[in-house]
Structure 1
Amino acid sequence: MTAPARWPGSPADVTGVTSKQAPLDDETVRRRLDVAVDAVDAPDVVFALSRHGRRTVRTGGTAPPPPVARERLRYEMGSASKTFTGLLLAQLTQTGLLSAGEPAATLLDPARRPGEDPVTLAHLITHTAGLPALPADFFVRALPAWRTNPYARYPAERVVDAFLRHRRRHRPGTRWHYSNFGVAVLGHALTAATATPWDELLTGQVLGPLGLSEATLVPGGPDTDATGHRKDGTTPVPPLIVGGFQAAGAVRATPHDLLTFLEAHLDPAGRPLADALCAVQRPVLRRGLGHRHVHTVAWFQHPTECGPMYFHGGATLGQQAFLGFRPDIGTALAAVCTRRFRAGDAFVPTAYTLLAEM
């Protein structure tokens, strides 16, 4: 991210590409992945592709290979974590544990009356709650740790308090504004509604059932986690601590676990969370005249000549991630790198174009 105000990955970060091509042979796929890896200037780069369950993983980077193979390390997802949060919300609503139309403030403070036009769980996940990207006092608190771990200085209770005190300018559901703040609030509302801590809730409802055995919400060590780097591509940065923003950016996962996650979306039938996996692919919001972006409760959706393409990007102070899948051709892509996002960065456009042109 260029500043803690946002993790890149919104549609504004990519240029739409559509293509219709004949199926590719394995050698062509490997060659295309290698070209993508070489196009990304970062210490560690992994592009992992699944086609109808057949996986191809290619790695590289400007740094010497780490002691643990790059594809075996866990990478920080940043805002791509929101796809897991969206799936969790869909699962909880599909199973009847709660409704996406429930007022978030009432879940967080049962004594509070919902009032007129309350912010609902659906508003929070679709970035239509009328909330800013971050709470108004975030930058003041984060400034002493701006280059290390600014989110760590803003704990869960402050996120909730900032939401309950927020004076909205627009009626919820009327405007779209990408908000880490909103999705963080959603996470706290879900933990309150289920009386379950966030790590237990996401693990028990999503990570565990889908078999993502290596995914986690907390940093590990150099034997398990990739090391991020500043914009210079050489200076290491500490692991991300997200404070009260877990639902917006805490997931860490290996490329193979990410492919497992995406493959479940490609073929939900007979899998755990099947109904929720289908639900998160249904369009729920179009941004309006002049925008081609369609949103689901977990993904951005763009058209291709063959069918819809779903994607989400994310970044932290030292890493970037891109997740995407195309049900029409049974293809999913998980891409990661260990260099902080900077102006003109090739990572997201390269990953987006690779998936769009498959």
Structure 2
Amino acid sequence: MTDTTAAPVTATGEGPADARLLAAAARAVDAPDLVLAVSRRGARTVHADGSAEPGPVGRERLVYELGSASKPFAGLLLARLVAQGRVRYTDRAADLLAPGLPVHPAVRRITLRHLLTHTSGLPGLPADFYPQAVPRWSTDPYGGYPADRVVRAFLRARPRHRPGTRWHYSNFAVSVLGHTLAAATGTPWEVLLHQQVLAPLHLDATRMRPGPAGTEAVGHRRDGTPVPALDTGGFTAAGAVRASPLDLLTFLEAHTGGPGDAGPPVDPTLAAALAEVARPVLRRGWRHAHTHTLTWFRHPSPYGPVLFHAGATLGQQAFLGFRPDTGLAVAATATRRVHRTDTFVATAYALLTETP
């Protein structure tokens, strides 16, 4: 139940070496469906494996739920809108969402940059999210909390900290960013993302809604029953993107400069946005050891800095990462058994940080 492809293979023989590396890494992950993929400035090696019987569509061509690994897409969208002059990082979200409406002074100070960089002072999720989510936590926790409710929760919020002073990971904040950009541009988030990011990068197998039957990866519960497709409700910008591993490589290659001269020309505002999202903007943690860009976690490695983001839904997982200095990109996706502990993220992260 293994399908390994490598195309193109470089003249130095890195393709076969990467194929062996990915096959070895796959043995460390117990997943029904698993895809590990690397690109070295456009030279790709893709390994598909898993404990489940393969279906009629190759695992590398299925579309997987990205969960929080959707956030780099939101970050690139914001950066491109800024490059186009349509919004500014310092724009205040409440002024764009509800101009003139009375809000808490701290909410009034929250900017688009604060929302994206998890420095808004907002909690991970709205306080009133949990009563409706807990009874359906293992089936559909987000679907009952629509967009208008997310916006209302933001406008009546009382941030825990003064915006810009502390880092706290927040799906709530990034979701508010999505609604704010939609309001500022007069364009629905899904359409905006497609126009500004997905279409220019030719990500034809990337979307925010389930596609035709047989094209989507499916997670399973421990008893073997399938997990329903994710409904993110009003939290679309924070976790609704779904994509094939091949599209994820294309997305990452745009950040590393690949696939080179054979690729389509990049619009100047998109090129500026790709450069902007790779730039460190804040440090946090003990001795400020943790570095972040607008949207990526940034860690050191023996081969230069690595930028990455992971995500998970009830039945699926994703990992995206790249090394700007060497042009290496790693995309990994998997289906999983609900609540099962596994080594997926650690394995993908090791491929990014330890691969020569």
Name the Cα RMSD after superposition: 1.8
Deviation at 1:291, TM superposition (A): 4.6
Q: Which moved more, 1:154-163 or 1:24-33?
A: 24-33
Match of 1:140 in 2: 131
Aligned AA (1:33): L
Alignment deviations for residues 244-292 of structure 1 (CA, whole Å, 9 cap, x no partner): 0000001011111100000000018952310000000000110143452
Q: Confirm or deny that 1:90 pairs with 2:90.
A: no
Match of 2:94 in 1: 105
Q: Given the superposition, is the C-alpha separation of residues 210 and 77 from structure 1 closer, same or farther in structure 2, using an over 3 Å criterion? A: same
Match of 1:309 in 2: 306
Q: 2: distance between equivalents of 1:343 and 1:227?
A: 15
Tell me the TM-score normalized by structure 2.
Answer: 0.90
Match of 1:63 in 2: 52
The answer (yes or no) to whether the contact 2:15–2:43 under 8 Å persists in 1 is no
SS in 1 for 2:306: strand
1:239 to 229, 237, 240: 229
Q: Confirm or deny that 1:158 pairs with 2:149.
A: yes
Deviation at 1:143, TM superposition (A): 2.6
SS in 2 for 1:63: coil
Aligned AA (2:266): R
The answer (yes or no) to whether the contact 2:41–2:257 under 8 Å persists in 1 is no
Q: 1: distance between equivalents of 2:29 and 2:159?
A: 40
Match of 2:167 in 1: 176
Q: 2: distance between equivalents of 1:327 and 1:342?
A: 34
Q: 2: distance between equivalents of 1:233 and 1:84?
A: 34
Q: Higher relative CO (CA 8 A, sep ≥ 6), structure 1 or 2?
A: 1
Deviation at 1:113, TM superposition (A): 6.0
Alignment deviations for residues 60-89 of structure 1 (CA, whole Å, 9 cap, x no partner): 111001121101110000000000000001
Q: Confirm or deny that 1:321 pairs with 2:318.
A: yes
Match of 1:256 in 2: 246
The answer (yes or no) to whether the contact 2:38–2:44 under 8 Å persists in 1 is yes
The answer (yes or no) to whether the contact 1:228–1:340 under 8 Å persists in 2 is yes
Tell me the TM-score normalized by structure 1.
Answer: 0.90
Match of 2:8 in 1: none
Q: 2: distance between equivalents of 1:304 and 1:283?
A: 15
Match of 1:187 in 2: 178
The answer (yes or no) to whether the contact 1:43–1:233 under 8 Å persists in 2 is no
Match of 1:295 in 2: 292
SS in 2 for 1:39: coil
Deviation at 1:327, TM superposition (A): 1.8
Q: Which moved more, 1:291-300 or 1:175-184?
A: 291-300
Q: State percent identity of aligned pairs.
A: 59
The answer (yes or no) to whether the contact 1:87–1:206 under 8 Å persists in 2 is yes
Q: 2: distance between equivalents of 1:341 and 1:31?
A: 29
SS in 2 for 1:328: coil
